[in-house]
Homo-oligomer: A and B are copies of this chain.
Amino acid sequence: MNNDEFRHWGHRVIDWVADYLKNVEQYPVASRVKPGDIRSRLPAEPPANAEPFDSILRDVEEIILPGITHWQSPNFFGYFPSNNSGPSILGELLAAGLGVQGMLWATSPACTELETHVLDWLVDLLGLPQPFKSSSTGGGVIQDSASSATLCAILAARERATAGRSNAAGSDGSLVAYASSQAHSSVEKGVRIAGLGSDNLRLIDVDEKFAMRPDRLDEAIRADRAAGRRPAFVCATVGTTSSTAIDPVRAIGEICREHGLWLHVDGAMAGTACLCPEFHYLHDGLELADSYAFNPHKWMFTNFDCDCFFVADRGQLIRTLSILPEYLRNQATESGAVIDYRDWQIPLGRRFRALKLWFVLRSFGVEGLRARVRRHIELAHQFAAWVQDDPRFELAAPVPLSLVCFRHRDGDTANQQLLERLNASGRLLLTHTRLDGKLTLRLSIGQTNTESRHVEEAWRAIQETASGS
């Protein structure tokens, strides 16, 4: 594909994406293929010689598209959203075209400096504590996901707790981590990866709103200390995956300070709400945290992957992850005047992800972002009110943000059938969780183009399906 052909086919792919996004709500939301269907349509061997690009695009349409579950449909209400937007897609395109590596400041200075700058912007926008700024003791970095951010936090906590001797001297199986029973699975995964062992993760009881009980955390830490173990890390969640429960960060933070534990706050979904000042209460007590993460790739119109991870003391993180081989040495690094983000993450290489985040912030403007977030939250509250008004249904959890957890009163089997029928209809996609031991449906609002008519239609589909009509 020469330069002219790239230009030609590039316009065609842009048109394809524009058409796709224009028409996406007409597709059945969940793919209907069976395991193996897609592979059975692909040739056993790659082509020996170049194929024309139009035949590739035709296969995208005919083979790939039927295997797509349409996360960008405004009728997608599953999991948490993973939304995108025009400016974000174009930022990703530009990053792919520039094709720079941002592992060091020196390998493309703009890649590092734009990232630092935009993450400092977000500290103010989200009302985060000032130490999370690069101009203070900490700073922000874009990770691929909240899983990786959590892992980095666990690793930094491990090194701090063992004074950098997490090997033979430090890692005697006595370090303990804590999170609520509702915390994301990535906490256990991170604890396992870091070598603490799943057995050394304590899942703390939650209250009736599914938020961590600080009294139980305190008891668990004291019990571990009394048994000679070394409590090292707590993950508090602001907006759990099951139900967007809000752990009490201040109370948890005070316990962490008293006992010298690293506090990481996972705001992967809910963080975006804090663009709006009226939701800053979600972050109350965050000045007691050592690290924090939220995902613009969930609810802030920035396509995956874009997790923003902030630390209050960048030295702790860098000491944990820095290794400098000869072939990466350079004057800028040795001057100490620059950030080398490879020391802030697991991998070495990194894309220019700050571009898409910058494009989104500028194209929407802060007020534009706030308006869309507020609208999603209003729609969720509207839906919750409809659920409450229908005697067949009940809310299963509070609705602080844009996720509604609800269920049919007829029990697990009825809810399982309802879920399967709804998703099979193609009209919408919901997922489930289990709260108080009961199967619970989740309607998560956050796709960029979800409007009231989509939520109304979702409720209509739910009511009709529940009636068997």
| B13 contacts A94, C-beta separation under 8 Å | yes
* Given contacts A97-B89, A114-B38, A195-B171, A46 and B79 within 8 Å (CB-CB): no
In the complex, whether A284 has a CB less than 8 A from a CB of chain B is no
| B199 contacts A60, C-beta separation under 8 Å | no
* Given contacts A14-B10, A101-B79, A167-B199, A96 and B92 within 8 Å (CB-CB): yes
* Given contacts A46-B362, A195-B195, A347 and B145 within 8 Å (CB-CB): yes
Name the residue on B nearest A449 (C-beta): B3
Number of interface residues of A (CB under 8 A): 154
| A84 contacts B96, C-beta separation under 8 Å | yes
In the complex, whether A382 has a CB less than 8 A from a CB of chain B is no
In the complex, whether A359 has a CB less than 8 A from a CB of chain B is yes
Contact with B along A88-101 (1 / 0, CB 8 A): 11101110111111
Known pairs A17-B94, A31-B110; list 15 more (Cβ under 8 Å): A7-B15, A38-B110, A38-B114, A64-B114, A66-B110, A67-B108, A67-B110, A71-B100, A166-B195, A168-B172, A169-B173, A170-B197, A192-B323, A193-B193, A346-B346
Chain B: minimal CB distance from A81 (Å):
10
Name the residue on B nearest A108 (C-beta): B69
Contact with B along A8-23 (1 / 0, CB 8 A): 0111011111101110
> Ordered nearest first, which 3 A-B pairs have the shortest CB separation?
A167-B197, A195-B195, A67-B110
Contact with B along A168-197 (1 / 0, CB 8 A): 111111100000000011101100111111
Name the residue on B nearest A69 (C-beta): B108
Q: Which of A22, A85, A327 has the most CB of B within 10 A?
A: A327
Number of copies: 2
Chain B: minimal CB distance from A335 (Å):
7
| B364 contacts A50, C-beta separation under 8 Å | yes
A-B contact pairs, 17 of them (CB 8 A): A1-B85, A2-B86, A45-B124, A46-B121, A46-B362, A50-B368, A53-B87, A64-B114, A66-B110, A68-B98, A68-B110, A83-B99, A89-B96, A146-B348, A171-B197, A185-B348, A192-B320
Contacts of A348 in B (CB 8 A): 145-147, 185-186, 189
Q: For the complex, what is the distance from the CA of A327 to the CA of B405, rounded to whole Å?
A: 12
* Given contacts A68-B110, A347-B148, A11 and B9 within 8 Å (CB-CB): no
Contacts of A192 in B (CB 8 A): 166, 320, 323
